[in-house]
Amino acid sequence: MPQYTPPLRDMQFVMHEVLHVVDELKALPPHAEIDAETINAVLEEGGKFASQVVFPLNLSGDAEGCTLDKATHAVTTPKGFREAYATYVEGGWPALSCDPEYGGQGLPHLVNQSFYEMLNSANQAWTMYPGLSHGAYEALHAHGTSQQKQTYLPKLTSGVWTGTMCLTEPHCGTDLGLLRTKAEPQGDGSYRITGQKIFISAGEHDMAENIVHLVLARLPDAPAGSKGISLFVVPKFRVNADGSLGERNGIFCAGLEHKMGIHGNATAQIVLDGAVGELVGEPHKGLAAMFVMMNAARLGVGMQSLGLTEVAYQNAVAYAKDRVQMRSLTGPKAPDKPADPIIVHPDVRKMLLTARAYAEGGRALCAWTALQLDKSLASEDEAERKEAADLVALVTPVVKAFLTDNGWIATSACMQVYGGHGYIHEWGMEQYVRDARINMIYEGTNTIQSLDLLGRKVLADNGAKLKKFGRLVQDFVEEEGINEEMQEFVNPLADLGDKVTKLTMEIGMKAMGNADEVGAAAVDYLRVCGHLMFAYFWARMAKVALEKQGSGDPFYAAKLATARFYFAKLLPETATLIRTARAGVKPLMVDEALF
């Protein structure tokens, strides 16, 4: 059976020893009273909930899945899911980072994101039910009317209601400009919405008394394409003037997808048959409003794969220390046993260290990104808010795509450590691989994230956002340039920073002549940028570990060993990526008849 221990020590290392988040957060008025003890205590309790309440349901929930009663359109979640959610609500966990005006606890997003990492390690399928509610909360908080906020936000904050995002339709995925769902005004401020949505995560379930659907649809006078999309809030049960639940709305689950992973989450086919909804934000501006939820979801998906990478690593390393197979090439390491533990073999260590390096690098990047998100929302300094918002915009597609690619690599490697046992359900590893695969696809495929990074976030503003991150790298390199102990980390970081600058300029120049050059280079380019960001944070973590290794704490020795592995064995991937990105579009755009 799988096991999971919340990585609290590493979270504390990143937050307090590397990023010094308390000093940063105290400068923000909403978090002026925050301290390390509070952060640590909340995450310790959150780790207990994740490991003791949600984690035991992961394997069984995957085997059982969700069931749909086609007569009533009701969905039953796996055994224990509903009870775990009730415990989650009773503990006040949904309110962690929500606005106190609506019953929230007002803690930093950083704390909430760290909690969600642990939930995703414990049970990604279960975590998607409350996770999507946060996105719905954020969208309504940013764009809802005063009445909509009063109606929906307290319920979403408490967790009594959950939320979804209804975007995709059978004929269109990412290209939302093709959607056909219609919204007819009723003359009283409401709309009747008709259409079909698919792949709606947590679209129907038995865990909460109401589900708040955020639905994209077209008004009768809507222009074609993405500029004709409006956003509507459509509750499963209509809400009376006094806040109580009224009649069942015309939105229901017509089917559940039979899918590769995340079996415990209800991926619903949703039919809207004259469902009553309210407009959120301005007419025809729904995509911009929904992007609040979509960006939150993209960061959340990165956290999903970070969680899976961590739990897969923990289980694989425990197995590798216990499983005996063959002898070490340099002679027996466990002469009292018939064979050596497989952790003695170099390639097994390579697989384990790959997962560990991607987990710990991802944790540092995600914590820093969440801190920038808190600054962008709460700083009193407009320039600081803008700087932080630009950095979050730049990094969001990297968190989504780089971390989920790494999660696929890491979970696959950890399954390989188990050999044949990794392919067997009861060990839990094959589930992590299956669950990880969807993370590269939904909330915008990783190719879409790559196009977003290179096209919108880098080339569209002539590299302004990228230069802001580049300045962080440059400042660190200059600070540590004379530190002899840091050369093995600083030199490759500086070298990659220069190469990213040159690669960006080269692709930009080529794209002026042929826009397809962006599509040809984007995926490789994002991965290079992901490594630049990881290298920066791994260098910062190595600096702290070097300073504290004299303490004798093996934590710092392990951190240094992993940093050295990352720079020696994983970062060199960028050489190939840069070369293939520079190869351009010509090898790809061959005559269609040749396919």
Please report, for the chain, the start and end positions of each structural domain, with discontinuous segments joined by +: 8-143, 162-283, 446-586
What residues have CB less than 8 Å from 447, skipping those under 6 apart? Answer: 522, 523
Beta bridge partners of 267: 201
CA–CA distance, 406 with 513 (Å, rounded to integer):
33
Has residue 175 got a pLDDT over 90? no
What residues have CB less than 8 Å from 332, skipping those under 6 apart? Answer: 340
* Residue 265 banded pLDDT, cuts 50, 70, 90: very high
Has residue 176 got a pLDDT over 80? no
Integer-rounded Cα Rg, in Å, for the chain is 24
Among 388, 361, 418, 320, residue whose Cα is nearest residue 533 = 361
CB 406 within 8 A of CB 304: no
Has residue 44 got a pLDDT over 90? yes
Burial of 91 (0-12, 13-18, 19+ CB in 10 A): middle
Has residue 454 got a pLDDT over 80? yes
The predicted pLDDT at position 219 comes to: 95
Q: Letter for the amino acid at 206?
A: D
CA–CA distance, 449 with 466 (Å, rounded to integer):
15
pLDDT in tens, 516-554: 999 999 999 999 999 999 999 999 999 999 999 989 899
* Residue 288 banded pLDDT, cuts 50, 70, 90: confident
Dihedral of CA atoms 134, 136, 140, 142 in degrees, nearest 10, equals 60
The predicted pLDDT at position 106 comes to: 95
pLDDT in tens, 107-142: 999 999 999 999 999 999 999 999 989 889 999 999
Domain 162-283 fold is: Butyryl-CoA Dehydrogenase, subunit A; domain 2 (2.40.110)
**DSSP H stretches of helix in 334-486:** 346-378, 382-417, 429-439, 446-451, 464-480
Has residue 208 got a pLDDT over 80? yes
331 dihedral zone (left: phi>0; alpha: psi -120 to 50; beta): left
Annotated catalytic residues are 443
Quote the mean pLDDT of the chain.
Answer: 95
**How large is the average pLDDT for residues 17-35?**
97
DSSP category for residue 207: S
The token pair that represents 42 in the structure block: 């909340």
**How large is the average pLDDT for residues 136-163?**
95
Q: Can 8-143 and 162-283 be said to share one CATH topology?
A: no
The predicted pLDDT at position 171 comes to: 87
CB 451 within 8 A of CB 519: yes
* Residue 392 banded pLDDT, cuts 50, 70, 90: very high
* Residue 349 banded pLDDT, cuts 50, 70, 90: very high
**How large is the average pLDDT for residues 31-38?**
96
SS3 259: coil
What CATH number is given for 8-143 in this structure? Answer: 1.10.540.10
Q: Which long-range contacts (CB under 8 A, 24 or more apart) does 458-462 make?
A: 458/394, 458/504, 459/504, 459/507, 459/508, 459/511, 459/518, 462/508
Q: Letter for the amino acid at 308?
A: L
Has residue 367 got a pLDDT over 80? yes
Has residue 297 got a pLDDT over 90? no
* Residue 592 banded pLDDT, cuts 50, 70, 90: confident
Cα 534 to Cα 132, 538, 542, 567: the distances in Å are 27, 6, 12, 10
What percentage of the chain has pLDDT greater than the value 70? 100
Has residue 293 got a pLDDT over 80? no
pLDDT in tens, 558-583: 999 999 999 999 999 999 999 999 99
Has residue 292 got a pLDDT over 80? no
SS3 17: helix
The predicted pLDDT at position 289 comes to: 80
CA–CA distance, 327 with 152 (Å, rounded to integer):
62
* Residue 45 banded pLDDT, cuts 50, 70, 90: very high
The token pair that represents 552 in the structure block: 């004798």
pLDDT in tens, 57-76: 999 999 999 999 999 999 99
Has residue 56 got a pLDDT over 90? yes
SS3 string, 21-70, reads HHHHHHCCHHHCCCCHHHHHHHHHHHHHHHHHHHHHHHHHHHHHCCEEEC
Helical packing angle, 554-565 and 346-378, nearest 10°? 100
* Residue 397 banded pLDDT, cuts 50, 70, 90: very high
Among 447, 387, 403, residue whose Cα is nearest residue 537 = 403
The token pair that represents 353 in the structure block: 């260290």
Q: β-strand 251-256 against 267-280: which pairing, if any?
A: antiparallel
CA–CA distance, 473 with 537 (Å, rounded to integer):
9
**How large is the average pLDDT for residues 483-511?**
96
Burial of 324 (0-12, 13-18, 19+ CB in 10 A): middle
The predicted pLDDT at position 442 comes to: 92
Has residue 295 got a pLDDT over 90? no
Has residue 323 got a pLDDT over 90? yes
- What is the greatest pairwise CA distance in the chain? 83
CB 271 within 8 A of CB 196: yes
* Residue 345 banded pLDDT, cuts 50, 70, 90: very high
Has residue 173 got a pLDDT over 80? no
CB 388 within 8 A of CB 376: yes
How is 140-168 classified by DSSP, letter by letter? HHHH--HHHHHHHHHHHHHTSEEEEEE--
**How large is the average pLDDT for residues 284-293?**
82
